[in-house]
Every structure is written in structure tokens, then in C-alpha cells.
Chain A
Amino acid sequence: MRVLIVEDNEELARLVVGGLAKAGHPAEHAATAAEARHMLAVDTYDAVILDLGLPDADGLVIVREMRARQDPTAILVLTARAGVDDRVEGLRCGADDYLVKPFAFEELVARLEALSRRPRAMQGQVLSIANLSFDTAGRQAFVDEVPHVLSARELAVLEMLMRRKGRVVPKKLVEDQLFGAGGDLSSNAVEVYVHRLRKQLAERGALVTIHTVRGVGYMIAEAK
């Protein structure tokens, strides 16, 4: 994926560009808001990494401008402050994700890749964890490349979990996805599906664990 990094610190920008290149993502650098505007106008990128503290403008202005002209490019905001309102403000302005400095480089790459997997970026794709993979276009789950039949609802739950692997999927979100928003159901209905899914994946030898975060949601991760 092509990435534009807007960051006034030359040294950091150089390191990030180098690191991204090594991770297989060609990146370009803009040091000021003006330069970024110019580059966004003449070229298209899959994602923009945007530092909020630019010398000539507030980074959020660029977010607003891009969203105003309905530019679908994914935006990952970087900020030096874990300030109270920064995060909300950034997300409200239309940024897709947010990272506080200092960050782990791996984390930056993971977030960028997660952004590019968002529905707006691509439709069909294969999600995978350990020996488990999921084809979102064919709606089919594979363990060690062997396809397995799962019910539609089990597939829906698995897709949600795998799209956010390593992160918690709120219980409410799973409920809404399975039974529609506002659907009145017993609180352990979701737990029943997750339990079945867990059992089937285990039977087929998938090396993943679906964690129940009691009271909060579910998370899929590699089995240890």
C-alpha cells in the first residue's frame, strides 16, 4: 500500500519511511501542511499518517479538508499528547485511527494494515490467524487450507472476530450483528453461538482461542 507520512520531524519521517519500505509499503514524506496538500492533490495514497503538530497548520485541518472533499484515503493520526480531547477530536473530524507517540513501529504497521482492510478499502479478502483463515468474499472458513462448513451466524461471528483479531469485539456489537439492533434476547444467546464456534474450531484443530472478556465482549487470538 502507498502511504504518505506528514510529519515535521525529518529524522522520524526518514525512519518511518525506511521502516515502511522494509515492511513492503512504499511511503512518501511531506514536512508541512502545504506540502501535504500539494501531494494529496497530485497523487493518490492508500493511507496518510498525519502528525497533528505541524509547523504551518493543525493536522486536524487537513483531516477536515480531506473529508470535506470526500477523499476516502485512510487517515492515521499521530499525536504527541495523550490529551483529553485530542483523540475524540481527531476521530470526530474523520480520522480512522489514532496513535500516541511514542509508538511501537510494529503497532504502526499493524494499524495501517488494519485500516487498509476496512470495507471501504477492499471488498473480498482473506483474513487469517495461525492456521485459521477466512475468505470474506466466498464466506468460507479454512483450517490448514481445508474448508469447513459453518452456519451463517457462526460465520458472521467469526468474521467480526477475525476482522479485529487481537482486539475486543464488544458484546453489544455481536448481538446487533446477529439479531439486529434493539433485538430483545437473553443475554447468553451470543455466548451460545460463541461456545459452538469455539467447539467446532477446536474439533478441526484450529490453533486459535476465542476469549470471553466477561461483561465486555470477545476476542480471538492465537492459541498459546
Chain B
Amino acid sequence: MLWSRSIVRRILWMHVVAVGTIALFVPLSLYLLLVAETSSLHREAMREQADRIASHLVTTGGRWRLDLPKDMRDLYSEALGRYIYAVVGDDGTVLFSSRYAAQAIFPDAPFTSKPEFLQAEPPHSNISGTRIPRTEGDHTVYIEVAENLSHRDVLIDDIVSNFIPRVAWITLPILLLLLGVETHVVRRVFRPVQEASERARQISPRRTDIRLSLQDIPSEIAPLVVAVNEALDRLEQGFRVQREFTADAAHELRTPITILRTRIDTLVDDRVAEPLRRDLETMTRVVTQLLEMAEVENMALGDSERADLLAVAADVIAFLVPLAIAEGRSIALSGVEEPVWVAGHAEVIGRAFRNLIENAIRHTPAGTVVEVIVEADGTVHVCDEGPGIADAEREFLFRRFWRRDRKRSGGAGLGLSIVRRIMELSGGSVTVANRTDGGACFTLRFRVVPAAADQDGAAVVQAAERDDGAAPAS
């Protein structure tokens, strides 16, 4: 994961990189600072000591004398071995020295008129100190003071050499803690955004009433939320217009057809009425199927809808069987004995069954039975003994307005498109196969759900059953 799509992760990732870099640089620079500080402390001390020695250096009659007090002499004792001094003439002769073997400390460094900080040549490079000139009349001497760094104060030594392992690690937990705090803060800041996303996820054609809350939303993101809400307003408006149009169209179309139908039905002369009625029935079928298609097209179902396939099937069969019997066919229900609860709306699923069974009745020969089989796994088969579906027809079968025989009136060619749309709505599928002994077998597959606690779907079926449906609409 070098670059994540999550903003929170991006921010945290950048922080990890930043913190990592800082964790590296802070101790390093602290260490360098510490080293610089100790060396400047050392120089200052050397300078001070050189000045003090200079203050004890006097000339009497062209001769130099050095009278060091006891405490200073102790400081430069060879037993201690830490500090050394030497007073050197400008010709290089050693006038005074803390060491028995009187030597200059920095014999190779040329004399200058300014104070200098020097380091002895190897192999004495652990000896470092200062040299200052002192002039009295026209005589100049140089006072050299140095410290043997390998004998340096243990404390300072420890601080410097142990700084990284002992002290620098503290920066890491501090930075990690900071990272933790950052994570928390960033998450907190983004929580309203996350909540808005959660809410947005619930938006579906059925739930277009949801709007995202602007409360606690960071001002950078607020315009996005506002834009989404506005888009939702337009979407909801669009759906409403569509649904209203379908409802209005249904009313506007059905009323004149009803008037026409009633007028024909109340005609006295049946020889005139009969062909008119047949024409009108075809037209009614087309209009009804069109409206039904429009309705399911604009429909959206909630996740909580459930229906009992067995009850719906029994209901639809009871509704259609008088028509089938009148035409010398019958319908039978078999398979499970117990309710099969699936996702979907009972009435809508009933329409899918109705369209398949109507087709089967139309295609099965007189004297045969259309079999409706409901299985416990949420599968429903509608099988007939008609001509079946040729392989070449399969791809057209579910298309709108496709009919095998356009000259034969009676159908709108929409039934199977309606079925397919309903299965899409219910989260299922529809397939077709031919029976080995002839005839088509349509199979609907639904999503099985646990038996409903609120049996809303069952109520639909019961309400319909109480009244035992109605005779088939023609």
C-alpha cells in the first residue's frame, strides 16, 4: 500500500513518513548539538585556565617567573594526568611545564599573535587545548594548556557517547504517541463524513427521501454533500414524476376503455357485439400489459419485503384456473407442502406467475395440465406440454414485444419482459428449458429468506384468499 484511496489512510501515511524522518533527524541533530556544546565547553575551560596561568606569570628584570597556587599545581599534577600546561618562548624554548620532561604541547603549530585552539599531532591527538600569547615589553611568551580527552570527565563522556542509545529512543515513543493522537483526531474529524457515506449507501430508487446531514461535516466537504442532496432532490422528483405519470396514464387509458367495453357489453345485438368485444379485448390486453410493464419498470422494492411462494402460487392458480378449465386445460400445484419464504413482494411475484401460467395455458394442448412446482429452495417451475421453445428463439424470448406469431392476435408480447423485470426486482432469475417429453419449462429462482416475523407478504395473500380472488380478467 503505497498510496491508498482512503483520505484517513493517506493522511496517516504521510504522518508516518514525516514522523519517521523526524525520529531520525531529531536525535541526530541533538547529538551534533551536544557534541558542539561539549567542545565549546572544553574550549572555554581551556581558555580560562590559560588566562589564569597567564595571571600568575610575572617578569622581573627580563626573567619570567611562574608562581602557581597549590590548587592549580594539583590540577596539573602528573598523577592526575588530565591537564597539562607549558609556557614557551617565541624561539620555541620551554620556560615552564607541568610535565617532568619539559616539552611544548603543540610543538609543530606555528606561533600566531591570537589565541588559538589546537590539537596535538598524532599519536597524541587525544590532547587538545589552547595557546594564548602573553607580551610583556618586547618579550612574548606563549601559554599552552591542554586536556587529555581520554581522561575526560566521565559524566560528559557518558552523555555524549550514550546519547543515542540511552536518550534518543525517547523520541520514538513520543512520536508514536503523537501518531496515535493524530490517528484519533483524523478519525474523529472524518466521522461525520463516514456517517454521511453510510447514509448515502441506503439511497435506492425506493428510498429517495434520504438526505445527507450537514451537521459536523467539515466545510471542505460540505459543498459535496450539498451537491449530493440537490442531485437526490432531482432524482426523487424524477421518480415521482415517472410514477405519477404511470398512475395517471393507467387512469386516463382505462376509463375510456371501460366506457367502450360497457357500451359494447350492453349492446343488444350480440352478432355486432362479439367481434367488437374481441378487438377490444386485444387492445385491453396490450394496454394492461404496457401499464404493468411501466409500473414494474419504475418500481423498487425494499429489502424487508417477503412473500410465501406457495401461497402466492395457490392464489394465482385459483385466479386463473376457471379460465383454463373453460378452455379445456387445467393447472396443478405440486412440490412443497410448507410455506417457502423468499425476498420480494407477494403481489408482484404473483404477476410473474400469472404471466408464465397464462402463456402455458395458451400453448399447452387441450386436455393437458399446466404444472406449477414450488420447491423449498425458492425455485418455481411452470411447465406445459406445448411446442416448447426453439433454441433460436431463446435470445428473443424475453425481449419486449417479441411474439413468435405476430399474426395471431391476443398477446402484447410483454409478458416475459414483465417476468424478467420482476425477477430482477426480487433479486432472482428466470430461465427456460424444454422438457425431454416436449413442452416448455420456465424456472424462476428466488432468494430464500428466514420466515417473516412481520408477515406483511402473507397478509396480501390472505386478504386475497379470504375473497378467493376473482374470476379471471379477460
Binding site for B on A (CB under 8 A): 9, 11-12, 15-16, 18-19, 22, 53, 80-85, 87-88, 91-92, 96-107, 110-111, 164, 166-170, 211, 213-217, 219, 221, 224
| Beta-carbon contact of B262 and A99 below 8 Å | no
Nearest A residue to B324 via CB reads A213
Nearest B residue to A20 via CB reads B266
Chain B residues lying within 8 Å of A82, measured Cβ to Cβ, are 250, 288, 291-292
Chain B residues lying within 8 Å of A103, measured Cβ to Cβ, are 258, 261, 473
CB of B233 closer than 8 Å to a CB of A:
no
What string of 1s and 0s marks CB contacts (under 8 Å) between B12-54 and chain A?
0000000000000000000000000000000000000000000
Alpha-carbon distance between A207 and B99 when the two chains are bound, in angstroms: 148
Q: Which of B294-320 contact A (CB under 8 A)?
A: 295, 299, 314, 317-318
Chain A residues lying within 8 Å of B469, measured Cβ to Cβ, are 167-168
| Beta-carbon contact of B258 and A216 below 8 Å | no
| Beta-carbon contact of A84 and B348 below 8 Å | yes
CB of B257 closer than 8 Å to a CB of A:
yes
CB of B464 closer than 8 Å to a CB of A:
yes
Binds A, one of B331-339, B383-391, B394-402, B447-455: B331-339
Contact A214/B333 with A81-B247, A167-B468, A219-B322 known, Cβ cut-off 8 Å? yes
| Beta-carbon contact of B322 and A88 below 8 Å | no
| Beta-carbon contact of A87 and B464 below 8 Å | yes
CB of B67 closer than 8 Å to a CB of A:
no
Q: List 26 A-B contacts (CB under 8 A).
A: A22-B266, A53-B251, A81-B247, A81-B254, A84-B295, A84-B299, A87-B463, A88-B347, A88-B459, A88-B463, A92-B463, A98-B470, A101-B255, A101-B257, A102-B261, A105-B262, A111-B470, A169-B468, A170-B314, A213-B318, A214-B330, A214-B334, A215-B372, A216-B331, A219-B321, A219-B322
- Chain B: minimal CB distance from A12 (Å): 5
| Beta-carbon contact of A166 and B471 below 8 Å | yes
Chain B residues lying within 8 Å of A80, measured Cβ to Cβ, are 250-251, 254-255
Chain A residues lying within 8 Å of B322, measured Cβ to Cβ, are 166-168, 219, 221
| Beta-carbon contact of B255 and A91 below 8 Å | no
Contact A83/B257 with A170-B465, A211-B325, A219-B321 known, Cβ cut-off 8 Å? no
Alpha-carbon distance between A22 and B267 when the two chains are bound, in angstroms: 11
Contact A216/B334 with A11-B259, A19-B262 known, Cβ cut-off 8 Å? no
Chain B residues lying within 8 Å of A110, measured Cβ to Cβ, are 471
Chain A residues lying within 8 Å of B258, measured Cβ to Cβ, are 12, 101-103
CB of B265 closer than 8 Å to a CB of A:
yes
CB of B436 closer than 8 Å to a CB of A:
no
| Beta-carbon contact of A88 and B460 below 8 Å | yes
- Chain B: minimal CB distance from A6 (Å): 15
Contact A104/B261 with A18-B266, A111-B470, A216-B333 known, Cβ cut-off 8 Å? yes
| Beta-carbon contact of B325 and A102 below 8 Å | no
Chain B residues lying within 8 Å of A169, measured Cβ to Cβ, are 468
| Beta-carbon contact of B325 and A221 below 8 Å | yes
Top 10 closest A-B pairs, CB basis?
A215-B333, A105-B265, A214-B332, A168-B318, A102-B258, A80-B251, A19-B266, A101-B254, A80-B254, A101-B258
What string of 1s and 0s marks CB contacts (under 8 Å) between B398-441 and chain A?
00000000000000000000000000000000000000000000
CB of B151 closer than 8 Å to a CB of A:
no
| Beta-carbon contact of A91 and B318 below 8 Å | no
| Beta-carbon contact of A16 and B262 below 8 Å | yes
| Beta-carbon contact of A168 and B259 below 8 Å | no
Chain B residues lying within 8 Å of A100, measured Cβ to Cβ, are 254, 473
What string of 1s and 0s marks CB contacts (under 8 Å) between B225-265 and chain A?
00000000000000000000001001100110111111101
- With beta carbons under 8 angstroms apart, the residue of A9, A91, A97, A219 that contacts B325 is A219
Chain A residues lying within 8 Å of B260, measured Cβ to Cβ, are 102
| Beta-carbon contact of A211 and B330 below 8 Å | yes
Alpha-carbon distance between A217 and B465 when the two chains are bound, in angstroms: 12
| Beta-carbon contact of B266 and A15 below 8 Å | yes
Nearest B residue to A105 via CB reads B265
Chain B residues lying within 8 Å of A166, measured Cβ to Cβ, are 322, 471
- With beta carbons under 8 angstroms apart, the residue of B262, B318, B468 that contacts A12 is B262
| Beta-carbon contact of B467 and A91 below 8 Å | yes
CB of B201 closer than 8 Å to a CB of A:
no
Nearest B residue to A90 via CB reads B463
Alpha-carbon distance between A99 and B473 when the two chains are bound, in angstroms: 9
Contact A167/B318 with A81-B251, A82-B288, A88-B347 known, Cβ cut-off 8 Å? yes
Chain B residues lying within 8 Å of A221, measured Cβ to Cβ, are 322, 325-326
Chain B residues lying within 8 Å of A11, measured Cβ to Cβ, are 259
- Chain A: minimal CB distance from B277 (Å): 8
CB of B131 closer than 8 Å to a CB of A:
no
Chain A residues lying within 8 Å of B291, measured Cβ to Cβ, are 82
- With beta carbons under 8 angstroms apart, the residue of B257, B262, B345 that contacts A15 is B262
Chain B residues lying within 8 Å of A88, measured Cβ to Cβ, are 347, 459-460, 463-464
CB of B135 closer than 8 Å to a CB of A:
no
